[in-house]
Structure 1
Amino acid sequence: MAEIGQIAQKVRSKNAGPFWLTIDIFCRNRVDFERISTGLATASLAARFRTDPEAIKRFDIADLNVVKLSLPRPAVQGTRADRDMHGAAWAALVEEMEID
């Protein structure tokens, strides 16, 4: 088992509006992309982010070696409950996830 952060070239998260976050997993090559694409279960992501798996929009873009995820923010951006206004800290949670 390996952490996604050890396999991927870069994991980036960012704000995608007041209601959504976007996480991009950039891979160096097709082998790494396939490993992450097949090893990363959407249900595991949903459990980690405490959201419904049906709410996660996932795009595995083989031509670019990128896995792109969009998910609802846990709190509306800029509200008192929002702990990460720019959405930048979410990448670290994905980098720490282990896959086969």
Structure 2
Amino acid sequence: MAKTIGDLAVLVRSKNAGPFWLTFDVMFNDEAVYRRVRDSQVINAKDVARTFHRNAEEVIVVNHDAALAVKVSFPRPQSSGSKLDNDVYGGQQYAPLLNLVVPD
């Protein structure tokens, strides 16, 4: 049965990386699981961009093998604290990553 990032990761979070960028951390506590996710490339710039309505050229995805983590960053749709902002700290933006299906 296929698993999702929400099933496999020990922690998925989002936060501001300054007032103009969001960053997401997807962390694992098992090297084999991390490598499965990393090697499947289920977390990639194109799909993240589609999920969050961004341009793929704006999305940065970095695999951190030593930390068993994947980091994703991209510009915020509006700056933190602007009148159009609905999440000043960026802490509620990670949820769509939880449903990404990781192939067996």
SS at match of 2:32: helix
| Residue 87 (structure 2) pairs with residue 84 (structure 1) | yes
| Corresponding residue number in structure 2 for 1:65 | 68
| Corresponding residue number in structure 2 for 1:42 | 45
RMSD: 1.1
For structure 1, the 5+ residue unaligned runs are none
SS at match of 1:35: helix
The structure in which a higher percent of residues are helix is 1
Give aligned pairs, total: 100
* Higher mean C-alpha displacement, 37-46 vs 16-25: 37-46
Structure 2 Cα separation of the partners of residues 38 and 80 of structure 1: 40
Structure 1 residue runs of 4+, over 6 Å off? none
SS at match of 2:35: helix
Identity %: 31
Deviation at 1:21, TM superposition (A): 0.4
| Corresponding residue number in structure 2 for 1:20 | 21
Deviation at 1:92, TM superposition (A): 1.3
Deviation at 1:31, TM superposition (A): 1.1
Deviation at 1:38, TM superposition (A): 2.5
